[in-house]
Amino acid sequence: MKVFKFGGASVKDAQSVKNVALVLETQGFQSCLLVVSAMGKTTNALEKVVENYFSKTDYQAEIEKVKQNHLQISQDLFAENHPVFAEISVFFGDIESFLRRNKSPNYNFVYDQVVSCGELISSKILSEYLNDIQFKNTWCDARDFIKTDNNYREGNVNWQETEQKMNSLNQQNCYVTQGFIGSDDNNFTVTLGREGSDYSAAIFAYCLNAEAMTIWKDVPGVMTGDPRKFADVSLLDHISYEDAIEMAYYGASVIHPKTLQPLKQKNIPFYVKSFLEPKNPGTKVGASEERSQKESFILKENQHLMRIATRDFSFIAEEHLSQIFSLLAKYKIKISLMQNSAISLDLCLEDLYLTVEELDEELQKLFNTEIIKNVSLYTIRNANLEQLNKFYQDKKILLEQISQKTIQVVIN
């Protein structure tokens, strides 16, 4: 079985949904499973619903905007009396019903129950459209197969139970399902983290022993830099699992950090291809003893640079680090870069859950702290050291770290 993952950009409107069918024509639509993200900016729009719900502002109006957008897309794909319209209304009715009866003050729990509907609706629309044009498939709910704990917004997969659930799938058939979501022991929805649809595809590929997995993007493949951010980038036609994992760790947006491990464990080839040019080979990620030597650039934006220093000018010792890291874990803040001196620790942080202020407040009970918000972290792999001055030109460097031929700089 082959696993294909289509992201939000590839199903953002009616023409994009039709293009998925064109992609499938080039690849063959036999024995495959499609993992689908929410359409376009739907996830952001549903996040706004959750924000308004907790701030007690008009969340119903936000739901209606998202609903009308999906109905408009569907009107361009289906006949007027198609049953998909009733199903879309049911999905949005479920969101409103849940929010009306919800008693939980847990933001992350509510987030997962609401935002997950984007994937459910988009996959249903795509499945129905493909069936209408004779790409016969079965729509299935990923929550029936991917089982997790109740760590809402970043669920941890129960691999044994997930594999058992997937044994019921007939690998001779074709399926359309959702990325980003699973369910806990109580069958409440649990999301797998932002951009978690790639990870979902890898989970299905691993459990189904897929022959290959392909992620369809709006770029030709894995590039030496995001073409929207860097000039003169080129395609990496083949990279090793190790290179891909390293690039994901540093923040390459084309690959989700968790995606590679399950694929590497079973040596499942992984392709990144363009849904705009589906016949092009794209990038193959797989087993290789050779590491890429091409210079590549990775940018992580919306980071925060925090400096933590002891108050009595004592060394930053193990007990201090233990206190700091336990608080980072408590507030679910990820470290993108770390550098320490005798009496201070510099951390470049990713604040996905908007808790850095709470972290800072707690750290100030023990340390002196300073935060510079909204900085950017650049990582240059296989850096051409002779050309660094050109890169540094007109940039205010706040922090720099060099290891072998990898350079990381934080810039304001």
228 annotated as belonging to a binding site for a ligand? yes
136 annotated as belonging to a binding site for a ligand? no
196 annotated as belonging to a binding site for a ligand? no
**183-220: b (≥16 Cβ within 10 Å) or e:** bbeeeebbbbeebbbbbbbbbbbbbbebebbbbbbebb
258 annotated as belonging to a binding site for a ligand? no
51 annotated as belonging to a binding site for a ligand? no
CA distance 50 to 117: 12
CA distance 240 to 321: 34
Residue bearing tokens 């933001």:
107
8 annotated as belonging to a binding site for a ligand? yes
Q: What are φ and ψ of residue 177, in 5° steps? A: -140, -170
7 annotated as belonging to a binding site for a ligand? yes
CA distance 223 to 219: 8
Greatest distance between any 2 Cα atoms in the chain: 73
Contacts with 330 (C-beta within 8 Å, 6 or more apart), sequence order: none
Contacts with 89 (C-beta within 8 Å, 6 or more apart), sequence order: 67
For the record, the structure tokens of 40 come out as: 């376009």
CA angle 300, 303, 304 (to 5 degrees): 155
Question: Annotated binding site: which residue ranges?
Answer: 5-8, 43, 119, 228
Residue ranges at the known binding site for substrate: 43, 119
Binding site per annotation, positions for ATP: 5-8, 228
